Amino acid sequence: MEAWGLIDERGRWLIEPQFRYILDRAPNGTYYASNFEDVGGFLNAQGRWVISPKFSLADSFATNGLAKACVSDDIYACGFIDFQGQWAIQPSFKAVESFGDEDLAAAKAQGGKWGFIDVQGQWVIEPRFKYVRPFAANGLAAATDGDDKVGYIDAKGRWVIKPQFESGDSFTSFGVAVVFFKEYKKAIL
């Protein structure tokens, strides 16, 4: 059976392989680990649970101290937890992405549209997009409109680059975004 663990710089096991997966170290020194029952929590480097396994999905903590976490009791619901594993933003969304550079997180409303929330869980950009990506360091986020075209919005939800691409990634730290344009024809002037 395939399993993940942690080693030190000499190759000694800190945590024996026993998890379905382990995510990178978070700013608080913990690792999100999922067991083979598809339930995860957060471990320290000694392999002790600091936040017990109770999430169906989670991500590493962002620099603001919040980590996306999802539970699936009767319905699948996502929100954000703090370093103690307490809900800082209640799991009332269909899906969420980690907080980006604008300290906004993409969130999918129960109605199925995406928007952005702040660290209090309040809508800053109302859910009106088919899909969004996190904000990049340049203050832009890829967003898909009703015609399935991708453009880029600012932190107020205004189009800075109008929707025109079939697909688009977030901007890199070099100020470049990879986009796909199906009907590209270069104009010769």
Determine how β-strand 123-129 pairs with β-strand 131-132. Answer: unpaired
pLDDT band at 24 (very low <50, low <70, confident <90, very high): confident
What are the boundaries of each domain within the chain?
1-93, 94-189
Confidence at 1, pLDDT banded by 50, 70, 90: confident
Is the pLDDT assigned to residue 75 strictly greater than 80? no
Q: What are phi and psi of 80, to 5 degrees?
A: -135, 140
**139-to-49, 64, 132, 158, 166 alpha-carbon distances in Å:** 36, 17, 14, 11, 21
Q: Tell me: pLDDT of 37 over 90.
A: no
Query: Average pLDDT of 108-134?
Result: 96
pLDDT digits (tens, 9 = 90+) for 135-180: 999 999 999 998 899 999 999 999 999 999 999 999 988 889 999 8
pLDDT band per the 50, 70, 90 thresholds, residue 184: low
What percentage of the chain carries pLDDT values higher than 90?
72
